[in-house]
Structure 1
Amino acid sequence: MAVGWAGDGAVQAQIDSTVDDAVARARSSLPSGESLEFCAECGEPVPEARRKAVPGVRLCISCQQAVDTQHGAVSGYNRRGSKDSQLR
């Protein structure tokens, strides 16, 4: 089957690359080391359950939510190649 300029498996290779980049970006932002007992931002105590669940945590839940909201979600989705973008 003729696929134009793209070789066989090019679409899957692009998808795999996008997923690999997203996983690498997520792993690089994970905290590591010993968790803090008090929030580095506001000084409030970090709950023990959070310290155990997230090794290396530095912020309390409310400060972490504020940071997450500021950074927002980064999308590596290629909109040019999607059918949704072609329909709009």
Structure 2
Amino acid sequence: MAGGWSRDGAVQDQIDASVEDALAVARSQLPVGASLTHCAECGTAIPEARRKAVVGVRLCIICRAELDKQQTGFSSYNRRGSKNSQLR
């Protein structure tokens, strides 16, 4: 049941659109093409097992972990659901 000026199901439509947008962003960041034999950042050889497991791999495990760490930003959203986190 929607309230106010919104129609029934409007909240679910908004949730679905948010999920679809997040999936589109995630899919756009997937590697495409042939895997490299050496890391594009540091030049270290990428093991054969990693090249077979991750299609289109461009970075070694260490460089990928560092990139992931840099891309993980602070989120001000309350993911725990506790009132204390909302009061910050």
Band of TM-score, shorter chain? 0.7 to 0.9
Are 1:56 and 2:45 an aligned pair? no
1:26 corresponds to which letter in structure 2? Answer: A
Are 1:14 and 2:36 an aligned pair? no
SS in 2 for 1:39: coil
The whole-number CA distance in structure 2 between the counterparts of 1:56 and 1:6 is: 44
Aligned residues: 81
Q: Which runs of 5+ in 2 are unaligned?
A: none
Taking structure 1 as the reference length, what is the TM-score of the superposition? Answer: 0.79
Q: Which residue of 2 aligns with 1:24?
A: 24
2:61 corresponds to which letter in structure 1? Answer: I
Q: Which runs of 5+ in 1 are unaligned?
A: none
The whole-number CA distance in structure 2 between the counterparts of 1:28 and 1:40 is: 19
* Higher helix content, 1 or 2: 1
Shift in Å, 1:45 = 0.9
Q: Which residue of 2 aligns with 1:43?
A: 43
Shift in Å, 1:73 = 5.4
Report 1 or 2 for greater relative contact order, CA contacts < 8 Å, sequence distance ≥ 6: 1
Are 1:3 and 2:7 an aligned pair? no
Taking structure 2 as the reference length, what is the TM-score of the superposition? Answer: 0.79
The whole-number CA distance in structure 2 between the counterparts of 1:28 and 1:74 is: 22
Shift in Å, 1:31 = 0.3
Q: Which residue of 2 aligns with 1:66?
A: 66
Identity of aligned residues (%): 58
| CA contact 2:2–2:8 (8 Å) conserved in 1 | no
Q: Which runs of 4+ in 1 moved over 4 A?
A: none
